[in-house]
Amino acid sequence: MSAEKILSDWKKGIFKPVYWLEGEEAYFIDQVVAYAEHKILPESEKGFNLTVFYGRDADWVAVINACRRYPMFAERQVVLLKEAQHMRDIDKLEAYIENPLTSTVFVVSYKDKKVDGRSKLAKVLKQKGELLSTKKIYDNQLPDWTNSIVQQHGLTITQKALFLMVDHIGNDLSRIENEVEKLVVNLAGRKNITEDDIENYIGVSKEFNVFEMQDAIAKKDLSKAVRIIQYFDANPKAAPIQMLLPALYNFFSKVFMVFGAGTNDEKGLASALGINPYFIRDYLQAARTYNYQGVERILLLLHEYNLRSVGVHDAGTSDAGLMKEMIVKMMN
């Protein structure tokens, strides 16, 4: 079951006795728990019928006793067990889950872990409870996911602004949602998010970023690449070398795949490379500029300078010095 389906059911007044939320993507777990805590019961009923436990301090007997109470002056009660991954003897909850009270909505947040599928608890959960098992979404799915959050707020976003935001924030769904909400406030009624908005309100430069560095190298624009490196040197948090080198390696690894893709169709090529079609021409540009041997050489240089950036075979060259030296070798 998905977080979306659980919330949809709850909004329709459809409740199951037990919900077990597990896995590595905290965003979806937090989304369900927040709704359970703040929206299932009206304010007038929460004082008597909402109980919250935290796994590190919770005793399994107390949790089960709370779940077995009947609601007071209400149709149902809600019992939350947060941070259940830290609870001792959590398998003892199996006795209640096997025979739960229908007037209790018991929600367990079990982050960063999954119940052992071979255990009796797992088998009981599958039979008696609703199980939400989450995992991190893939990086190439982030733009579409982010765009859906933007659309939920009644906004649109330019392609470049979208990718600037995703690249800057990374795979942190909660932060992406928070930044979109910040943009909603700052747009003051405007409906389209632009690169200027990303620069002004999120803090990533539209001119000096990883995408622009990739573009400069792909086109052998040395002066532009040097300007970007100088900006990064003056603003170390903008794109530290430990972030920049893997990003460039990922870019040129996919450029290298162009030569073996067996198609010139841009849409098919984008699908084969696992990238958004909006950027496919950047990859094709780099492939034409450097050819097979040139891209292979760039990948070797990136590996070499990644080692040097952590002190292997290097006497202490600055990050900016390493980057300038590397791109000159790439372009020559």
CA distance 226 to 241: 14
The 8-class DSSP code of residue 310 comes to T
In the predicted structure, residue 274 carries a pLDDT above the cut 90: no
End-to-end CA distance of the chain: 54
Domains annotated for the chain, with CATH where assigned, are 3-134 (3.40.50.300), 139-202 (1.10.8.60), 210-331 (1.20.272.10)
pTM above 0.95, yes or no: no
Helix axes 26-38, 173-187, angle to 10 degrees: 60
Q: What is the pLDDT of residue 23?
A: 93
Taking only the tens place, the pLDDT of each residue in 61-79 is: 999 999 999 999 999 999 9
Region 274-291: what's the mean pLDDT? 88
Taking only the tens place, the pLDDT of each residue in 242-273 is: 889 999 999 999 999 999 887 778 888 888 88
Residue appearing with tokens 């947040």: 109
Q: Concatenated DSSP letters for 27-61?
A: HHHHHHHHHHHHTSS-HHHHHHHEEEEETTT--HH
Beta bridge partners of 111: 23
